[in-house]
Amino acid sequence: MAKPTIVTVDDDESVSHAIARDLRDRYGDDYRVVRATSGADGLEVLRRLALRGQPVALVAADERMPGMTGTQMLAQVRDLAPTAKLLLLTAYADMEVAIAGINEIGLDQFLMKPWDPPADRLYPAVDDLLDDWSRANPDHSDVRVIGHRWSDRTHDLKTFLARNHIAYQWYDVELDADAERLLGLAGATADDTPVVLTPSGDTLRAPTTLDVATALGLRTQAEQPLYDLAIVGAGPAGLAAAVYAASEGLSTVVVEREAPGGQAGQSAAIENYLGFPRGLTGADLAQRALAQAQRFGAEMVLARDVVGLESRGPVRMLSLEGGTCIEARAVVVATGMSYRLLPAAGVEEMTGRGLYYGVGAGEASQCEGDVVHVVGAANSAGQAVLNLAQYAKRVVVLARGTSLDDSMSRYLVERIEAAENIEVRYATEVAAVSGDGHVESVVLTERGTGRQETVATDWLFVFIGATPHTAWLGDDVVRDDDGYVVTGRSLRHSDGASSWPLARTPFALETSIPGVFAAGDLRNESMKRVASAVGEGAMAVALVHRYLAAT
């Protein structure tokens, strides 16, 4: 396969040669660098590459070019190179233009000139853009998944692979001619699906995610008999705790049942996270945090569900599904939230068959040309709606309230209102879901009047809030009436009684079991924001140090 291309556009010959030289020095082994000296020339280069079917990874254009500015040129790139990353080269005075480019044309990054030395100012920005592009556009994959489009188990496996950044080739037994051939070569039939063919030649018939993780060499077992800190959950809070704990010398293990990132990892865009003016996807944030934690030596145990917690003297033991356990001197619980189930007829039969709770940023393309309904009106729903609208023919938002402004950030509302293929139906609830093997229609009820209407749809995505994932903790960990974990001084009741067993005051994030801390959305009185979850994860490690020093 031809090398992916980096296209640079700058009307100043000396600058054009300089940036092309610097990019070739750093990326020439893996990418072809092509330069153009005007916006029109750059677009012509992209047209030729598109005709040849050659991938374009990055387009870097100077803003101050005569005839066509860099922003004007980059606004047309998506038609010729849909997956390319867009980088604008600017002067300090062009800051407002760059911000407008982020909001209006989906600019990925801007970089102020001059960029000398490139090792400090150019390469870090380009590294991030090319890493993101490479993850989203793998040139090949030896993992193959064969199954039915509307199979819940197939969907779970594909989601697990995608969220763990494992590239795979997908074959639909009903649409792809090669699916039957591959099943035959593997000695399997359509009744065995989903079938996963691994690079080592193994055939996995209807495997669990643990089976797949083990077969692909992901770590599914802890390596040490005892850790300083065990972290349950690899969402923003858990990953932050892992980074700080491992970087400060604590032997650290993180146990995650699904994939790094938690619910935040499925977000199509986190646009209010400090330090990322362009915003970033939840998957990108999770991948960066995971790499950071592993760089410092934290272990990641995947596809394992923690089902119990108990104390054994100074040691805390986590029981894993399947009978194994992990022991640690301290524990941070960061299991976050589970989606609340939609209370409508037919939901159980249709879940995983066109009805899904949440949607990953990379899953929206499966809805190309279809009609999609989204239940919910919070920020997570708004981000998903905008992502789905890039592919779907029509997206219908079903909101219980009479205004999106009551529950959604204004910047999302404005984009939804401006999109031609997005419709919002207010004061509307789903009463029933039906279809022959997969979702084909929903019954909508108008709140107040009770009037019902049956409408056709291809997909139904649900974002109606979440409940804390804490039932596995058992009775020894005090929780409030809604299931959120009670921590710190809140363990003392208004009548003077206490759920705390020691003479000392519990640390701020400490639960009713000494040495067990809670961080992130599952903790009562938490802020339910990515940034606050990251902060609590870091704070929990500081408190773990205090606990370990005192024991």
Q: How many Å apart are CA 55 and CA 31, to the nearest integer? A: 10
**The pLDDT of residue 386 is above 90:** yes
Which whole-number Å values give the CA distances from 239 to 58, 222, 232, 292, 519, in the listed order?
29, 17, 10, 9, 11
In percent, the amount of the chain with pLDDT more than 90 equals 75
**The pLDDT of residue 433 is above 60:** yes
* Domain range annotation of the chain: 5-136, 144-215, 227-335+469-550, 347-464
The predicted-structure confidence for 302-338, as pLDDT tens digits, reads as follows: 999 999 999 999 999 999 998 899 999 999 999 999 8
Asked if the peptide bond before residue 82 counts as cis, ω within 30 degrees of 0, the response is no
**Confidence at 177, pLDDT banded by 50, 70, 90:** confident
**The pLDDT of residue 375 is above 70:** yes
The three-class DSSP label of residue 325 is strand
Query: Which comes out higher in pLDDT, residue 201 or 18?
Result: 18
- Please give the average per-residue pLDDT across 95-117, as a whole number: 88
**The pLDDT of residue 86 is above 60:** yes
State residue 73's pLDDT score: 96
At residue 479's C-alpha, the angle toward residues 477 and 485, to 5°, is 80
Architecture field, domain 144-215: 3-Layer(aba) Sandwich (3.40)
Q: How many Å apart are CA 208 and CA 42, to the nearest integer? A: 48
Query: Which comes out higher in pLDDT, residue 279 or 125?
Result: 125
Q: How many Å apart are CA 487 and CA 526, to the nearest integer? A: 10
The predicted-structure confidence for 501-548, as pLDDT tens digits, reads as follows: 999 999 999 999 999 999 999 999 898 889 999 999 999 999 999 999
**The pLDDT of residue 495 is above 60:** no
State residue 361's pLDDT score: 66
Domain 144-215 and domain 347-464 have a common topology:
no
Tell me the average pLDDT of the chain.
92
**Confidence at 279, pLDDT banded by 50, 70, 90:** confident
The CATH code of the domain at 347-464 is 3.50.50.60
State residue 529's pLDDT score: 87
- Please give the average per-residue pLDDT across 259-265, as a whole number: 85
* HEC-encoded secondary structure of 103-156: HHHCCCEEEECCCCCHHHHCHHHHHHHHHHHHHHCCCCCCCEEEECCCCHHHHH
**Confidence at 251, pLDDT banded by 50, 70, 90:** very high
**The pLDDT of residue 77 is above 60:** yes
The predicted-structure confidence for 470-485, as pLDDT tens digits, reads as follows: 999 999 999 999 999 9
Please give the backbone phi and psi of residue 517, each rounded to the nearest 5 degrees, phi first.
-115, 155
**Confidence at 270, pLDDT banded by 50, 70, 90:** confident
The predicted-structure confidence for 24-66, as pLDDT tens digits, reads as follows: 999 999 999 999 999 999 999 999 999 888 899 999 999 999 9
Q: Which two tokens stand for residue 314?
A: 């100074």
The CATH code of the domain at 5-136 is 3.40.50.2300
User: What is the CATH topology of the domain spanning 227-335+469-550?
Assistant: FAD/NAD(P)-binding domain (3.50.50)
State residue 496's pLDDT score: 54
Q: How many Å apart are CA 374 and CA 397, to the nearest integer? A: 5
The predicted-structure confidence for 414-430, as pLDDT tens digits, reads as follows: 999 999 999 999 999 99
**Confidence at 163, pLDDT banded by 50, 70, 90:** confident
State residue 362's pLDDT score: 67
